[in-house]
Amino acid sequence: MMGWRRFRFRLSFSMSNYSRFTLLLLLAMILDYAGAAPRWVEHASIPGPDTPETGQSRFDDLFLLGSGRYQIPYPFSNLVESLESRIDNAGKPGVRLTFIPMGRSLQRDAPAPDYFKFSRAVIALEGEPVTAGNAAGEVLEYRLFIAHQPKTETLEIISYNDAVGRFEFQVIEKYGPNLSPQVRRANRIMCLSCHQNAAPIFAMRPWSETSFNVEIANKLVSAQPQKYDSLIDVVSADAGVIDLLTERANYLAAAQFIWQRGCQTRRCRVALLRAILQYRLSGESSFDSNHPDYRQDYFNELTRNWETRWPEGLALANSRVADRDPFATGPASLEQDPLFLRPAHATWYRVDPILARGIVYRLSGYLTLADVQRIDRHMIELSDDPSTPIQKFRASCRFEDQANQTRILNCGNATTPESLQARFSIEYQQGNLDSIRIMKLQIPLDANLMQPKIRQLSRLQRGVKAELEHETTNLAQRLANGDRIKSLVLLGNDPLLSGKISLEVEVAEEFRLVDQALSSLLEKNQQALGDSAFRRKTIVRELALALGMKPMDWREPPVAVSDIKETLSSNLGGELALLEPYCSHCHADTSVNPPGFLTGNEAGAKILQCAPRMLARLKAWQAETDFPASPMPPPAFLEFVGTTIEAWPKSAHYRRLVASLENMVRKNHQLLGTDYQHLPPCLARANE
């Protein structure tokens, strides 16, 4: 089996017209044209602390037992099963899994040469948390991503920390039978050299490195015949789903950024929260974007803040890396290397109604369906009170045809736009009215077309009465403004609906209950609207309290103890001391990839061993080289140490570092000019 590194090496020579450095510079110009650049929402040069100031990852929420001990189901298939049991994805699997035997992740060389026997697996979650009784299951959908390398039994985890509103990066070693797994916070700045969006990344379609590629799947089946009977067990469309979940995860940072910095007053936040609740209560169909609070307190404030703070716009980092076919013979490109800078996924230049709505949609995903169902039911209970105002709408109806079994009934006048309109399909069985289906329903002052289900149908002396529910969510059928359609009555001469027929719809104005609760959040200066992250727990807890609901059974997970980072003691002297500021952020721990050449007392020996490769990766910064691997330090990292792509290769530090490594290599290795893959490996033990 040939390592992928060698593949890429051979292929990239076809790019010789431009050196990779020139392309990198071109890209930098595109990223930063005309000086005034958009503000990045996430950037590799602002990784934040490895240990979060507050809160912990979703993975810790689920598997931490307390005082640093974890209980992680083993083997990996049990971990998958345990996650599957926590999620309900409407009949489909909630854990989406794909294999990436020859990829571009940090683990890619670990299984060499048995890439297909020890294939990396990546999982992501989709669906609603399973919730029993009052227990409040946490949102799992696109909040937890796990990669497993079976040869080394390592897990890489990217999972959401609700308290800070960011993804945490973790690595788990000693994941195995009868072992106590060691979970550590990953070195964020290092992970972000590829995960430049501080979130999961994934290849674009057609995901050729994954088991969605039949060629890959075939090789997996033949490498592990005892495990897989057929291709069917391996090929799945999950790569596409994971790609989408990765993209959704990527929007979380932007939505949080706008909640915290674009919508800064409590009035703005309460107006945004109001829209979020309407949107979810309506079964994600709509919300009242014409309401003065939405327009003035949210939309206008966001617009004002945007114009002063981000006049050049906001850039969203990119979760998508170009696809790479591990078997292809065509040239490999710059954008296929995850270490290269990626242009923004999108740049939002100004606030418009679509952007403002988008934020409502994105933040609404922080609530679970169970949360919304509880609020929905509670409002219905409260509004049984006869003081709840009821609005009534009427229309007259006509059958479309004379057919006897199924008849279509039209109500209202389609030429009068803001009037009650409906269309029903009514089944008769042997002369009896058997069932009614609502094909269309439109309530005045609500532009939305609805197609609710009938929850309960009762016969009246003269007609039928229906109670409605939203098509798929078990929520009551509500208007965009959060009010509920209480009942729908079809009146005729008899229970069979003959003669003159009319429709009567009652709307209970019960969203005012939520409005009252929101005003009290505003008055009492509650945390939910404070300056921290948009956080489901705080928001739902305070809202439930203000609505007078029974408190939920929130199980507070044990909190992780922060791990102490190994301090390095390389004590490098002379020119090589420059390796500290530019390399030690990523090369000073015990990992194999990236190689820890600055660790331990034998750092000097390790540097000597790796020097030819270090030199090659540094020289990759020079305009005239056509070096196929990405330069070091990684482009995304440079701003973190206060330099830029343009300035670094011209700097004195750069030149001194190159000169001293050249010197070292000349004295100790007879290798200058050798192909990169034939240079000695960085760590003496690492490559067999």
Angle made by CA atoms 366, 368, 370, in degrees to the nearest 5: 160
Exactly one of 122, 183, 263, 397 binds ligand HEC (CB under 6 A); that residue is 122
157 contacts ligand HEC (rule: CB under 6 A):
yes
Task: Give the binding range for ligand HEC (CB under 6 A) out of 187-195, 279-287, 379-387, 560-568.
Answer: 187-195
Alpha-carbon distance values, 441 to 100, 377, 455 (Å): 48, 22, 15
587 contacts ligand HEC (rule: CB under 6 A):
yes
Task: Give the binding range for ligand HEC (CB under 6 A) out of 80-88, 198-206, 292-300, 343-351.
Answer: 198-206
Which residues, 6 or more positions from 19, have their beta carbon under 8 angstroms from its beta carbon?
623, 624, 625, 626, 627
Exactly one of 111, 634, 635, 649 binds ligand HEC (CB under 6 A); that residue is 634
Alpha-carbon distance values, 291 to 281, 299, 372, 450, 495 (Å): 16, 11, 21, 20, 41
Exactly one of 116, 145, 393, 627 binds ligand HEC (CB under 6 A); that residue is 145
Question: Cβ of residue 87: shortest distance to ligand HEC, in angstroms?
Answer: 17
169 contacts ligand HEC (rule: CB under 6 A):
yes
Does residue 401 contact residue 484 with C-beta atoms inside 8 Å? Answer: no
Name the residue among 106, 23, 654, 11 with its Cα closest to residue 342: 23
Question: Cβ of residue 319: shortest distance to ligand HEC, in angstroms?
Answer: 8
Name the residue among 556, 531, 566, 563 with its Cα closest to residue 51: 563
Does residue 411 contact residue 395 with C-beta atoms inside 8 Å? Answer: yes
Q: Whole-angstrom Cα distance, residue 318 to residue 245? A: 13
645 contacts ligand HEC (rule: CB under 6 A):
no
Question: Cβ of residue 445: shortest distance to ligand HEC, in angstroms?
Answer: 45
Task: Give the binding range for ligand HEC (CB under 6 A) out of 153-161, 229-237, 284-292, 439-447.
Answer: 153-161
Task: Give the binding range for ligand HEC (CB under 6 A) out of 87-95, 395-403, 556-564, 628-636.
Answer: 628-636
156 contacts ligand HEC (rule: CB under 6 A):
yes
Does residue 113 contact residue 1 with C-beta atoms inside 8 Å? Answer: yes
Of residues 310 through 339, those in contact with ligand HEC by CB under 6 A are 321, 338-339
Q: Whole-angstrom Cα distance, residue 391 to residue 220? A: 63
Q: Whole-angstrom Cα distance, residue 434 to residue 285? A: 29
**Lookup result for tokens 């039209």:** 410
Exactly one of 121, 235, 549, 682 binds ligand HEC (CB under 6 A); that residue is 682
**Judged by CB under 6 A, how many residues of this single chain contact ligand HEC?**
48
Question: Cβ of residue 263: shortest distance to ligand HEC, in angstroms?
Answer: 29
Distance of CA 599 to the CA centre of its chain: 34
Exactly one of 617, 619, 649, 664 binds ligand HEC (CB under 6 A); that residue is 617
Question: Cβ of residue 103: shortest distance to ligand HEC, in angstroms?
Answer: 3
Of residues 540 through 579, those in contact with ligand HEC by CB under 6 A are 579
Does residue 447 contact residue 421 with C-beta atoms inside 8 Å? Answer: no
Question: Cβ of residue 631: shortest distance to ligand HEC, in angstroms?
Answer: 9
Task: Give the binding range for ligand HEC (CB under 6 A) out of 199-207, 296-304, 440-448, 667-675.
Answer: 199-207
Question: Cβ of residue 179: shortest distance to ligand HEC, in angstroms?
Answer: 20
Which residues, 6 or more positions from 387, have their beta carbon under 8 angstroms from its beta carbon?
none
Termini Cα distance of the chain: 15
Exactly one of 164, 190, 360, 369 binds ligand HEC (CB under 6 A); that residue is 190
Exactly one of 62, 201, 263, 517 binds ligand HEC (CB under 6 A); that residue is 201
Does residue 239 contact residue 320 with C-beta atoms inside 8 Å? Answer: no
Task: Give the binding range for ligand HEC (CB under 6 A) out of 254-262, 290-298, 550-558, 589-597.
Answer: 589-597
Alpha-carbon distance values, 538 to 30, 176, 344, 552, 581 (Å): 41, 36, 32, 12, 41
Which one, 318 or 477, has the nearer CB to ligand HEC? Answer: 318
Does residue 507 contact residue 443 with C-beta atoms inside 8 Å? Answer: yes
Q: Whole-angstrom Cα distance, residue 89 to residue 108? A: 31
106 contacts ligand HEC (rule: CB under 6 A):
yes
**For 233, how many CA atoms within 13 A lie in the half-sphere containing its CB?**
12
143 contacts ligand HEC (rule: CB under 6 A):
no
105 contacts ligand HEC (rule: CB under 6 A):
yes
Q: How many residues does the chain have?
A: 688
216 contacts ligand HEC (rule: CB under 6 A):
no
Provide the binding-site residues for ligand HEC, judged by CB under 6 A. 100, 103-106, 120, 122, 145-147, 156-158, 169, 171, 186, 189-191, 193-195, 200-202, 246, 321, 338-339, 579, 582-583, 585-587, 593-595, 610, 613-614, 617-618, 632-634, 637, 682
